[in-house]
Chains A and B, each alone.
Chain A
Amino acid sequence: MTSYTDKIREISKRLLKEGKVDMVIGFTKGSVPMMNQPMFARNQNDVDGFAWDGNCGINLANYVTGRSEKIGIVAKGCDSRNLAVHIVENKIKRDQLYIIGVPCTGMVDRHKLTASVGGEIEAIEEDAAGKTVTISGNDFSETVDRVDVLQENCALCMHRNPVIYDELIAEEVPEQTEESVDRYEAVRKVEEMSPEEKWAYFDDLFSDCIRCYACRNACPLCYCPTCFVDESKPQWVGKSIDPSDIRIFHFLRAYHCAGRCTDCGACVRSCPMGINVRALTKKLEKDSLEYFGWEAGLTTEQRPPLDTYKPDDPEQFIK
């Protein structure tokens, strides 16, 4: 992974030197392990702060919304798809962006790792080949296979290589196919339940929610100037942690992402309670694919399905 880091620094430095961009957005190590954070480099001296490893799971497309500068941005497959969504939704212009594409082999799941060991993880190390991850803390050190600790969305990802980019930092990685992974296994399991079981399943899923809105803030799609949960005139949704309020929040937040969500997993990664928020967005992703043959963020030419009308749109549910 060091080669990725070096390449990102090198490209960023060149772009800033040539004045091609006003700043480069990338990742830097966080103050605690597994929590890499975004970094904005505005001059050549800053670029040494950039880093790349398996903890770059947040979505950088979140940081370009409505900006007016020329921006160089480090983008994994999912980030690039969200940039495409941003371009379609007029949140940024394509010619403002210089996309530094990063072929990605998935991000490690910090919730999974934390749960797998008793103590606090103080350091995380990946081997050069990207095969194993070593976590260590006060009185333990453990080495695990990287593929076993990937975030679920990364393990199921079909677009590991950036879909739009100006420059790639490495050779493209092999993509997974429908044959090699079953993307919607978890969704189908829920679909097969009875309404009562479904209700209980989501009751349990959301029972830990503290309404911190980290999932919303981490999401590149959630860029409304005033979010519906923050409005008070009218107040669309109750602000308590009553199960029904929590459910309405999650339902509406997910629905706002219908046909736009790229399953980047930023919501799950950011959740302090480790709730699998993707249980809802993945269902919407599946429906978009089944009803409209649509996967978000693969093109900048087409409007998303819920934004357009076609005579053959499915409408069996309307009586």
Chain B
Amino acid sequence: MKNLLEHMGIDPGRLHFSWISSAESTKFVEVAKNVTEEVMALQSKEKKYMKTKPKVA
């Protein structure tokens, strides 16, 4: 799935996968921080994921 999304042009780094047990609170914090940082770094690039108003011919 990650492969196909990236194949379609989603920036690598926007999609993260992780196994976190309910007992691993510190790992969760760490992963959440990393994900936010990476995605924030990418956000300024463009707004292509937003829906636009329909184009009327």
Contacts and interface: CB of A to CB of B under 8 A. Distances in A.
B41 interface: no
B31 interface: yes
A251 B54 contact: no
A251 B5 contact: yes
Contacts of A242: 51-52, 54
B30 to A, nearest CB: 10
Contacts of B12: 195
B54 A317 contact: no
Interface stretch (A46-54, A114-122, A197-205): A197-205
Interface string A92-125: 0000000000000000000000000000000000
Binding site secondary structure of chain B:
loop
A91 B28 CA distance: 42
B6 interface: yes
Contact of A244 (B3, B6, B49): B49
B33 interface: no
A190 interface: yes
Nearest to A306: B1
Contact of A198 (B2, B8, B51): B8
Q: Interface centre among A193, A240, A241, A242, by most B CB within 10 Å?
A: A242
Contact of A283 (B7, B49, B50): B7
Interface string A170-203: 0000000000000000000011010111111110
A145 interface: no
Contacts of A238: 51
B16 A255 contact: no
A245 B50 CA distance: 10
A280 B8 contact: yes
Contacts of B10: 195, 199
A65 to B, nearest CB: 25
Interface in A270-319: 280, 283-284, 287, 317-319
B27 to A, nearest CB: 10
A318 B19 CA distance: 7
Given A195-B10, A199-B48, A247-B8, A287 B3 contact: yes
Contacts of A202: 8-9
Contact of B31 (A245, A255, A317, A319): A319
Given A200-B9, A287-B4, A319-B18, 10 more contacts: A195-B11, A198-B8, A202-B9, A240-B54, A242-B54, A283-B7, A284-B4, A317-B2, A317-B17, A319-B31
28 contacts: A191-B7, A193-B9, A195-B6, A195-B10, A195-B11, A197-B9, A199-B8, A199-B9, A200-B9, A201-B9, A202-B9, A238-B51, A240-B54, A241-B54, A242-B51, A242-B52, A244-B49, A251-B5, A251-B8, A258-B4, A283-B3, A283-B4, A283-B7, A317-B2, A317-B17, A318-B17, A318-B19, A319-B31
